[in-house]
Structure 1
Amino acid sequence: MPASPAPSGWSRVDRTTVLDGGRLRVHQDSVVQPDGAPGTFRVVEVPDGAATIAEDDHGRIALVRQPTYVHGTVLTIPGGAMEPGEAPEAAARRELAEEAGVTATTWRKLGDIALMNNNVCRLHLYAATELSLGEQQLTGTETGMTLEWWCLNDAVAAVMDGRIFLSGAIAAILMHARGRT
């Protein structure tokens, strides 16, 4: 089988799917590395996600505190996986309403990030203002999630000292803070 082209000088020679969990797939690719040497690279496929920095009229941002299976209780921004066929901003709007009970009139794209170099998932980040508050609509995995309103400078400090450590929240908080300076 001829090698298939991949980004940055890599070529895929063969692919074996080692896990197919529906919306989660893990592949082991036989590759030719940019230096010409053969190698193996594992690729994780999960749905893209969307997350939002929601800022109220007092300059505070919405953070959610959530008990999780892997990391214990985390402090992060509202967000989650996109549904099949769902546009990134629609997912961000849905997740903000579900997790924080917040809707917004004004939306601004902050950017997209890749979570890791072996994961095809992109996280689409947004900032939202002109907020209306409602009730959280939590799912079973979100049981116990609470909404907190933080001053942006305090959230940046929490990123810097490790209290906020999920990559999407870190990126969004710092991107939003940079955009305000």
Structure 2
Amino acid sequence: MKRDRIQIDDSWYQRPLGVRESISAGGIIAREDSGTIYIAAVREASKVKNAAYVLPKGRLEAGETIEEAARREIAEEAGLTDLTLLAELGILERLDFRKRSWKIIHYFLYRTAQIEGKPTDTTIDYQLHWFPLDELPPFFWPEQRQLIEKNMELIRESLKRDR
């Protein structure tokens, strides 16, 4: 399955019987610059031409808390490590990319002052990009964009409070 040819439809959000569960964590990372709020998104460098963006997230590893997993995944995929937790955003569920496991994904909202990030995952060439909150790019997973849109006011208010 090639990501650039896949269209995510309702079938990814319907849990088949007998599919195993996988716990994941990630987040929305926001920063403010000259009054504009920016959101971090990543994509694979090898698919830059037509690739849609994703929020950094991934599987929980043994011994990690869910929030520790979110921070590790953000470091691996976006290279951002100077994170301040602002809020828990809840849980979203769907099938994984290959439709082999049911992902239970915990999302958090973080603030950072970091602009540049060097992803620590050496197996995939991730690229970090920043987008104004009101000018979001296409996202591969529709629920990730919806999560940002649903929480726009919380993002704005949290960044104001956290100054």
Cα distance in 1 for partners of 2:68, 2:141 equals 22
Deviations 1:96-134 (A, max 9, x none): 111111120233111111215x96431101110133354
Give the total of aligned pairs: 130
Residue 88 of structure 1 deviates from its aligned partner by: 1.2
Q: Residue by residue, what CA displacement relative to the aligned partner does 1:35-71 show, whole Å, maximum 9, x if unpaired?
A: xxxxxx62221421112111012210111022689xx
Asked which structure has the greater CA Rg, the reply is 1
2:8 aligned residue? none
1:1-181 pair list within 5 angstroms: 42-58=17-33, 59-66=37-44, 73-103=51-81, 104-115=83-94, 120-132=102-114, 133-140=116-123, 142-143=124-125, 145-155=126-136, 158=137, 163-180=138-155
Distance in 1, matches of 2:90 and 2:106, equals: 6
CA contact (8 A) 1:53 1:128 kept: yes
Higher relative contact order (CA 8 A, sep 6+): 2
Indicate the residue corresponding to 2:9 in structure 1: none
Alignment identity in percent? 27
Gaps of 5+ in 1: 1-40
Question: What 5-or-longer segments of structure 2 have no aligned partner?
Answer: 1-15, 157-163
RMSD: 2.7
